[in-house]
């Protein structure tokens, strides 16, 4: 789960850089999106990346809270003919349901060890 932690740190760093470099500027936004777009894949749910990022312009990167799936632990399962695979725990599935229902704050409050210290 070190990779997950590093991804979370990377996203916060990108947002901090974007804010300091003028995310609020429509003229700088295309260059930022072009640079970031080469390093990651984003599922924006059909919303253009430009609109999504511009809508996030008021976020303070220091206020972001990140959460670890599977409480930051491996949850391996042996699958015949495949080998060992990583599966989501029941609590991780509850986290995804909380995301869907816009209730992540309650999930984080009841699972404080899942909150990353990034």
Is 85 found in the same domain as 53? no
pLDDT digits (tens, 9 = 90+) for 6-59: 777 777 777 777 767 666 666 776 777 677 666 667 677 888 777 777 777 777
- Rounded Cα–Cα distance for residues 93 and 71 (Å): 12
Is 80 found in the same domain as 38? no
Packed helices 29-37 and 2-20: angle between N→C axes, nearest 10 degrees: 160
pLDDT digits (tens, 9 = 90+) for 92-114: 999 999 999 999 999 999 999 99
Is 41 found in the same domain as 14? yes
Is 73 found in the same domain as 107? yes
Domain count, the chain: 2
- Provide the domain limits for residue 32: 2-60
Q: Is the pTM of this model over 0.85?
A: no
């Amino acid at each position: 789960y070190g990779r997950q932690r590093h991804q979370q740190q990377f996203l916060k760093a990108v947002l901090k850089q974007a804010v300091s470099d003028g995310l609020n500027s429509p003229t700088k936004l295309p260059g930022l999106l072009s640079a970031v777009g080469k390093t990651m894949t984003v599922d924006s749910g059909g919303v253009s990346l430009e609109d999504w990022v511009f809508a996030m312009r008021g976020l303070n990167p220091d206020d972001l809270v990140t959460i670890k799936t599977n409480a930051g632990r491996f949850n391996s399962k042996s699958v015949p003919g495949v080998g060992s695979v990583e599966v989501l725990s029941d609590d991780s599935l509850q986290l995804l349901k909380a995301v869907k229902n816009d209730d992540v704050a309650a999930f984080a409050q009841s699972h404080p060890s899942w909150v990353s210290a990034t």
